[in-house]
Amino acid sequence: MRTTTLEDRLRQRLGDALLTQEPLRHHTTMRIGGAADFYFAARNPHQLVEALKAAREFALPLFLLGGGSNLLVSDDGFRGLVLRNAIEEIEFDGTAAQVGCGTDFLELIYACRDRDLAGLEFAAGIPGSVGGALYGNAGCYGQDIGSFTIECTVASLDGAQVLTRPAAWFEFAYRDSRLKRDPWVLLSCLLQFRRGARDAIQTVIEEKLEVRRVKHPQWRVEPTAGSYFKNLPPGFQVPGLPHSPGTQRIPAGALLDACDCRGLRVGDALVFPKHANIIVNAGRATAKDVLTLAELMKARVRVKFGVTLEEEVMFLGERPRLESGRV
Ligand SMILES: Cc1cc2nc3c(=O)[nH]c(=O)nc-3n(C[C@H](O)[C@H](O)[C@H](O)COP(=O)(O)OP(=O)(O)OC[C@H]3O[C@@H](n4cnc5c(N)ncnc54)[C@H](O)[C@@H]3O)c2cc1C
């Protein structure tokens, strides 16, 4: 008689949507990453909580995936369960909306436009899910999603608790939220918008998409995870540069530009020629290529400015050993 495997037991709990040995490069905008032992896309909160409980019961390492747009995955993949939040409903109520955290961010912006609701259009072109955006408080042009948030519903990692907490609890800050230190799983959020004119909202959306089209890689054809390093804090004194007290963050790209990083290449990992803080996968880049290139960029900035850049892109899986390289 055949013994029951971990896969059998997981499949009993999660059904046939459970995938095994799923290549994670299919689920990241960098198109890099080995296979996950198990992969499951939860389409509703019940499925997601069930998957959390099953992962805990079977002592499986767990990674929660949104759109995979801020992520570099190891070439060896992930030994555990990758749980994709694919809860995608949007329910409008006046100028507010209850949004499933697997909803695509741009789809939400279009849905708001179609109901004459303004607010998030500044973010048109940020890929990924609403949950991923809340986790890292995604934003640009000095605005972010956290400031539109009234409350979010989260599950504990073991699936035992589901709670609704007000925005303040999430401690939204620049590319940061409490969830980076105290992990909970975002199920849905209540966001507040304001009345706006559909045409004006559409104009802003088009402008933002056009700026990105000109300056940034098109991730569907030039795979990338966007800005690789975080910008420096406001008023940060970069050694060797004139002090400019103020509220603007110093872009990491400015330091990388001063170090001639555009066009640097390791294997098929390439610093985007139009933006020094973006790494693209120019063919068959491996995670190791990207990490080696990122170390080279950091080393140049460290040598020239004495500043250590901090990664914005997250890494999943085992880190490979990198050869100490050139500067
Ligand atoms: C071309 C390009 C341009 C970009 N421009 C910007 C920009 O202007 N501003 C900006 O802020 N970012 C930008 N990004 C980065 C990225 O798009 C954002 O960080 C995005 O919000 C990540 O969402 P995601 O769903 O893809 O998250 P993922 O990459 O899937 O995950 C990121 C993290 O969020 C966690 N997470 C995901 N979903 C949940 C959930 N439901 N509950 C709890 N944790 C969760 C994951 O565990 C992981 O730790 C850009 C990326 C690209 C490729």
Ligand 1 atom with minimal separation from the 137 CA? 11
List the one residue out of 168, 165, 198, 208 whose CA is nearest residue 184: 165
Listed range (55-69, 173-187, 311-325) with the worst mean pLDDT: 311-325
State the average pLDDT over residues 101-105: 98
Q: Is 80 exceeded by the pLDDT of residue 114?
A: yes
> Which H or E run includes 48?
helix 45-57
Residue 314 CA, ligand 1 centroid: distance in Å = 9
pLDDT at 323: 79
State the average pLDDT over residues 5-12: 95
pLDDT at 222: 96
Atom 12 of ligand 1 has which residue's CA nearest to it?
Answer: 138
Q: Is 90 exceeded by the pLDDT of residue 74?
A: yes
Residue 243 identity (one-letter amino acid): H
Give the helix, strand, coil percentages of the chain, each rounded to 5: 30, 25, 40
Dump pLDDT digits (tens) for 195-225. 999 999 999 999 999 999 999 999 999 999 9
- Residue corresponding to tokens 């805990």: 56
Percent of the chain at pLDDT exceeding 70? 94
- Residue 250: pLDDT band (50, 70, 90) is confident
On average, the pLDDT of the chain sits at 94
Dump pLDDT digits (tens) for 304-327. 999 999 999 999 999 999 976 666
Q: Give the pair of three-digit tokens for residue 14.
A: 């999660």
Q: Which domains does the chain carry?
A: 9-85 (3.30.43.10), 90-201 (3.30.465.10), 220-316 (3.90.78.10)
- Residue 3: pLDDT band (50, 70, 90) is confident
pLDDT at 240: 64
> Which H or E run includes 227?
strand 224-227
In the structure, which protein residues have their CB atom closer than 6 angstroms to any atom of ligand 1?
A: 29, 64-71, 85, 101, 126-129, 131-133, 135-136, 138-140, 175, 179, 185-186, 216, 219, 224-226, 314
State the average pLDDT over residues 149-178: 97
Residue 239 identity (one-letter amino acid): P
Residue 327 CA, ligand 1 centroid: distance in Å = 30
Ligand 1 atom with minimal separation from the 127 CA? 17
Please report, to the nearest 10 degrees, the dihedral formed by the alpha carbons of residues 293, 296, 297, 299 taken in order: 160
> Which H or E run includes 19?
strand 19-23
Residues with a known catalytic role: 175, 227, 312
State the average pLDDT over residues 169-178: 95
Q: Give the pair of three-digit tokens for residue 162.
A: 């589901």
Q: Is 60 exceeded by the pLDDT of residue 247?
A: no
State the average pLDDT over residues 124-145: 96
pLDDT at 143: 94
- Residue corresponding to tokens 């085992």: 318
